[in-house]
Amino acid sequence: MTENKAVFTGQSRIMFILLAFALLAQGALFMRSQAYNSFDMLMSDFKIAVVLNNASSSETEDFTKKLNSLEGVSEVRYLNAKEALALPGALPEQNGFEVFLPKEDFLPAFFEIKASQSVMMNPEAWIAEHFSSMAQDAQAYYKESQAQAAIYLGGIVKYINIVLGLSMFFFLTFCFFVEAYYIRITSLSTRMGGVICGIFAYALALALSYILASPLKLAGEQGFIWDIWGQAGCLVLTLMLGWTLAKWKKF
């Protein structure tokens, strides 16, 4: 009777440790996936507006080819007058389209550029490097707040990846030393008990995380994304920890 009670106590402790681990893992995975999702949404929406003043049709065509050949440019779209004026905050008031209307042969050419991640992280340097040499009458505009948000999110994603990578290294190191150097004869049923605890701990942590994150559905499907491969990794690691703790039992 005493032996069964001791075994139950040990399994209970393993269960609480695994539940704490699974909850931390769920939180880290959720924040990582949301940071990546927010960064991707910024990337897809980030555009650089380009104005080429006093350009003839041939000059506009030549300038378009130069834009497409620039490193970091994924798409170039020529805008008509209505589309250009609809760009929010992209063009200053002194460059209003009406200023150029009398010059029918030399109307300004408006372009919309979709750039790569490297450009978005430092658009000012990219514009200074390329546009001064391409055309003197070319001016480029972008939303500075959007670029700053991308830099901030990029730093968060890098930080999360480094922390998760280090945590993975120390976790696997712990499991290796317990399995390789800690001599303790344990039955298969005891080890499988730790694995079963891992399954229940993962399921509880996943359910709780889903409930807590459900209000984000109000922001649409893009605000509520789960990383399938990350979840698979979280499950495997929880099971590994349960298997290892069933042998270690230094708690």
CATH of the domain at 107: 3.30.70
In this structure, the answer to whether residues 13 and 61 fall within a common structural domain is no
Tell me the mean pLDDT in the region 99-115: 63
Distance of CA 68 to the CA centre of its chain: 27
Q: Of 105, 123, 142, at which residue does a domain stop?
A: 142
| Residue 183: DSSP 8-state | -
Helix (H, G, I), strand (E, B) or coil at 135: coil
In this structure, the answer to whether residues 122 and 80 fall within a common structural domain is yes
In this structure, the answer to whether residues 37 and 51 fall within a common structural domain is no
Span 218-235, pLDDT tens digits: 766 665 667 888 899 999
More confident: 237 or 40: 237
Report pLDDT for 2.
Answer: 46
Q: Which two tokens stand for residue 219?
A: 């922001």
Distance of CA 31 to the CA centre of its chain: 9
